Amino acid sequence: MTAAPDIVQRDELKQRVAALKLHGLLAHWDDIATAEMPWLQRLVQWEEVIRKRRGLERRLSAAHIGRFKALADFDWHWPKQCDKATVSDLMTLEFMQAATNVILVGPNGVGKSMIAQNIAYEAVLQGHSALFINAAQMLGDLAAQDGDNALRRRLKHYARPDLLVVDEVGYLSYSNRHADLLFNIVNRRYELKPTIVTTNRPFAEWSEVFPNAACVVSIVDRLVHHSEIIVIEADSYRMHEARQRAASKKRAAKGRRSVTSTRKNQPPV
């Protein structure tokens, strides 16, 4: 025999109340959960909506993603090489379930950070925690910690997010200390949580980014073991957009001069 619809609804509602941790309501559940009390369902729905919104706001604030161009606005015809299908697959976030790392490799200004920001934003929208941070900022922060306890707390801070994006590895060179700290972060997340790295250097050149660091091979090994590597070949997209804006302004100015010239040449009425 199946349960009566109102009993099923009350059980489902009780589960939602428990998920919200409304312990006062649960303690008096038998007194209030009747079919004649539709206000209770509205109350639970309001609480779910407001918590979902506040949770999203907190995750977005903590992620530090910043401003970015949506993938829908990106000119995919511009890059000489960029696997759009793979990027689209990454936006489904399936890679997060398998703790697969993502490595975006390419010269400056080709959209590596933009792609990483879009993925991180989608992760936040889907309920995951994320952190987008510049490599120099993260490594500088870790190196500046005074004492083992403070350092352990910061290492946990960077290891904790469901998705960590380390932006611009390779634009600066770092000491052995910085290399050890990066290895610590990568190792803590290895096979547990995915990490996205954007870099302008192929892995063969990372020994120049971390000169004389013995752990470079170990860093690369853990990053690429379970990874999706996307190589982007293109001229700077920022320069491309700057040229487009300049051309648009030039056309607009030419149009205004043409209108002004036409008005000047018109005979008086």
In a domain, 104, yes or no: yes
Per-residue confidence (pLDDT) for residue 2, from 0 to 100:
44
Instruction: Report which of 67, 169, 63, 68 is spatially closest to residue 120, judged by C-alpha positions.
Output: 63
**pLDDT tens sequence across 8-19:** 777 888 888 888
Cross-strand partners of 196 = 102, 165
Does some domain include residue 187? Answer: yes
Decide if 11 is inside a domain: no
Number of structural domains, the chain?
1
Sheet bearing 163-169, strands edge to edge:
130-134, 163-169, 195-199, 101-105, 227-231
Q: Is residue 244 part of a domain?
A: no
pLDDT value at 38 more than 80: no
Whether the CB-CB separation of 187 and 89 falls below 8 Å is answered with no
Please state the rounded mean pLDDT for residues 201-227: 95
- One-letter amino acid at 55 equals G
| Cα separation, 234 vs 79, whole angstroms | 4
Of 65, 222, 86, 181, nearest to 129 (Cα)?
A: 65
Regarding predicted confidence, which is higher, 222 or 43?
222
Distances (CA, A) of 268 to 48, 226, 260: 70, 76, 15
Phi, psi of 197, deg, nearest 5: -125, 130
What pLDDT does residue 265 have? 66
Compute the average pLDDT of residues 67-95.
Answer: 92
CA dihedral sign of residues 262, 263, 267, 269: positive
Give pLDDT tens digits for 217-231.
999 999 999 999 999
Query: What is the per-residue pLDDT across 143-152, written as a single tens digit (0 to 9) for each?
Result: 999 999 999 9
Q: 127 is in which domain, residue-wise?
A: 79-237
Q: Which residues contact 74 (CB under 8 A, 6 or more apart)?
A: 111, 114, 237
- Residue of 120, 30, 114 whose CA lies nearest to 74: 114
Neighbours of 74 (CB within 10 A): 18
pLDDT tens readout for residues 17-33: 888 888 787 887 877 76
Higher-pLDDT residue of 100, 31: 100
Give φ, ψ of 131 to 5 degrees: -145, 125
Rounded to 5°, the CA angle 193-170-167 comes to 45
The greatest distance separating any two alpha carbons of the chain, rounded to the nearest whole angstrom, comes to 94
State the CATH number of the domain containing residue 141.
Answer: 3.40.50.300
Answer for the pair 224, 203: CB distance below 8 angstroms, yes or no: yes
Is 13 within a domain? no
Residues 149-160, mean pLDDT to the nearest whole number? 97
- On whether residue 205 sits in a domain, the answer given is yes
Question: 267 lies in a domain?
Answer: no
Looking at the domain assignment, is residue 40 inside a domain?
A: no
Given this model, what pLDDT does residue 111 score? 92
Backbone region of residue 236 per phi and psi (left: phi > 0; alpha: psi in -120 to 50; beta: other values):
beta
Residue 3 has pLDDT above 50, yes or no: no
